[in-house]
């Protein structure tokens, strides 16, 4: 048995009976249970909503997509994606009333699995790793370990993997139980993409957990007291999980100003009202056969203009936000998981493009301005292959790079760590 395996085993045996392990694992289990319970309830409500609102007959003017079962785990902006859009001569109307199917959720944020992983799993990883080295020093066992034949490299990596397993294995077991339960519930249809995406979610959680374990180990090699280590670790956790992602959004909002969506929709309505007003004026001045078509074209021309100026600005703001937020593994994980689950901004952009294309292809037919019958809206959420190429690869590389950076720095730091 190599020294690394001996240390790995010791870490497991020593910690598995500790109050720290029992309390944190119980908390994790409780939070995951609540998360699945609330998220499934929310998903069911949205599913029922969809069943009521979806067109019973082929209807080109009603656009709505069903909630994805993956939103039980990663809710993202699935509520927004599932809104009913209705187009008419006056433009595309968004049913805003659907934005929150349960108003309680606006008071108490739904703790979906992404939240559990992003916040709780990272915190657990840090709370297990912060004293890995400094704790041995305080306990007086570090010198004995090093003198006993554990090379510094073996010691560091034995601890890193041992503490990672202590956090990630209970999480994985609980997650797999949750997946098994959810998959058996009514309204949850599973297919190859569903399982593949869940697999990616588990793997990326593992890398994310490893990155925070490495961060904790790094902190424990920077200080000599566990009390200092826990404070530094919590400060680092707050920065990476809360400060950077929120700061990124604030900075991007300031640097790339985009009007709110509601204002853009309002501008569209104003353009429609203006067109109707002009038609009324023209009708008063005398009958004209082309007035109706002209009005519709005017409305849609104005709306297209508004949309075409709004969309690049919104995309620019999104890109900037993503660039800033990717400085944090928590930010990268949020983008990665929401995009993989099909509940993120990538899906939102794809859906908007699909809606615009549908309107463009069918509007003339729908208004009887062109020959032919308009088709119904069809949409398939992004496959994992596409998500991987479009965004997930970059996001996962960010998390991997963060883990490697912490491991590398911890190794360099521990090589000169004074064990006395």
Residue 53, CA atoms < 13 Å, CB-side half-sphere: 22
Closer of 10 and 352 to other proteins (Cβ)? 10
- Least separation in angstroms between CB 4 and other proteins: 10
Residue 217 has phi, psi (to 5 degrees) of -65, -40
Tell me whether residue 274 is exposed, middle or buried, using C-beta atoms within 10 angstroms of its C-beta: 0 to 12, 13 to 18, 19 or more.
middle
Residue 216, CA atoms < 13 Å, CB-side half-sphere: 31
Closer of 122 and 221 to other proteins (Cβ)? 221
- Least separation in angstroms between CB 18 and other proteins: 7
Number of other CB atoms surrounding residue 170 within 10 Å: 19
Closer of 22 and 273 to other proteins (Cβ)? 22
Closer of 7 and 403 to other proteins (Cβ)? 7
Closer of 152 and 282 to other proteins (Cβ)? 152
- Give the DSSP per-residue string, 175-216: HHHHHHHHHHSTT----HHHHHHHHHHHHHHHHHHHHHHHHH
- Least separation in angstroms between CB 29 and other proteins: 23
Gap between the Cα atoms of 370 and 362, Å rounded: 9
- Least separation in angstroms between CB 342 and other proteins: 46
Gap between the Cα atoms of 138 and 85, Å rounded: 62
- Least separation in angstroms between CB 339 and other proteins: 44
Q: 264 near 328, Cβ under 8 Å?
A: no
Closer of 149 and 260 to other proteins (Cβ)? 149
- Least separation in angstroms between CB 159 and other proteins: 13
Q: 68 near 78, Cβ under 8 Å?
A: yes
Q: 43 near 69, Cβ under 8 Å?
A: yes
Closer of 364 and 419 to other proteins (Cβ)? 419
Beta pairing partners, 91: 88
Among residues 345, 343, 327, which one has the least CA distance to residue 239? Answer: 327
Q: Could you list the residues that contact other proteins (CB under 8 A)?
A: 1, 3, 6-7, 9-10, 13-14, 17-18, 139-141, 143-151, 418-420
Closer of 147 and 180 to other proteins (Cβ)? 147
- Least separation in angstroms between CB 6 and other proteins: 4
Gap between the Cα atoms of 231 and 140, Å rounded: 21
- Least separation in angstroms between CB 10 and other proteins: 5
Dihedral, CA of residue 93, residue 98, residue 103 and residue 105, to nearest 10: -110
Closer of 68 and 154 to other proteins (Cβ)? 154
Closer of 9 and 257 to other proteins (Cβ)? 9
Which residues, other chains included, contact 179 with Cβ-Cβ below 8 Å and sequence gap of 6+?
73, 198
- Least separation in angstroms between CB 125 and other proteins: 22
Among residues 226, 238, 213, 211, which one has the least CA distance to residue 126? Answer: 213
- Least separation in angstroms between CB 129 and other proteins: 18
Chain CA centroid to CA 12, Å: 31
């Amino acid at each position: 048995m190599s020294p690394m395996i001996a240390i790995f085993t010791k870490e497991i045996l020593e910690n598995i009976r500790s109050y720290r392990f029992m309390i944190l694992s119980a908390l994790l289990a409780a939070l995951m249970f609540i998360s699945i319970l609330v998220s499934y309830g929310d998903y069911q409500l949205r599913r029922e909503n969809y069943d009521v609102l979806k067109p019973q007959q082929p209807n080109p003017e009603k656009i709505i997509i069903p909630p994805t079962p993956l939103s039980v785990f990663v809710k993202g902006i699935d509520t927004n994606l599932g809104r009913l859009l209705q187009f008419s001569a006056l433009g595309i109307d968004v049913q805003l009333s659907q934005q929150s199917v349960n108003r309680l959720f606006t008071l108490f944020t739904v703790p979906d699995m992404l939240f559990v992983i992003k916040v709780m799993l990272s915190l657990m990883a840090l709370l297990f790793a912060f004293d890995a080295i400094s704790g041995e020093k305080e306990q007086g066992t570090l010198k004995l370990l090093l003198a006993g034949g554990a090379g510094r490299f073996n010691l560091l990596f034995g601890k890193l993997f041992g503490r990672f397993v202590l956090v990630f294995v209970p999480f994985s077991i609980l997650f797999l139980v949750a997946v098994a339960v959810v998959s058996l519930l009514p309204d949850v249809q599973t297919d190859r993409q569903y399982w593949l995406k869940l697999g990616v979610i588990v793997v990326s959680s593992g890398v994310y957990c490893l990155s925070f374990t490495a961060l904790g180990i790094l902190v424990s090699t920077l200080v000599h007291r566990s009390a200092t280590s826990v404070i530094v670790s919590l400060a680092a956790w707050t920065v990476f999980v809360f400060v950077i992602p929120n700061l990124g959004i604030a900075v991007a909002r300031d640097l790339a100003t985009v009007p709110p969506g509601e204002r853009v929709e309002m501008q569209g309505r104003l353009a429609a009202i203006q067109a109707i007003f002009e038609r009324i004026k023209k009708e008063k001045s005398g009958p004209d056969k082309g007035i109706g078509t002209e009005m519709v074209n005017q409305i849609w021309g104005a709306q297209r203009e508004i949309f075409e100026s709004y969309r690049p600005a919104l995309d620019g703001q999104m890109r900037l936000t993503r660039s800033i937020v990717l400085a944090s593994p928590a930010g990268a994980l949020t983008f990665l998981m929401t995009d993989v689950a099909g509940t993120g901004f990538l899906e939102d952009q794809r859906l908007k493009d699909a809606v615009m294309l549908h309107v463009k292809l069918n509007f003339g037919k729908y208004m009887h301005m062109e020959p032919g019958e308009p088709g119904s809206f069809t949409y398939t959420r992004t496959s994992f292959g596409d998500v991987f190429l479009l965004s997930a690869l970059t996001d996962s590389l960010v998390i991997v790079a963060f883990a490697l950076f912490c491991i590398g720095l911890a190794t360099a730091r521990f090589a000169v760590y004074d064990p006395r």
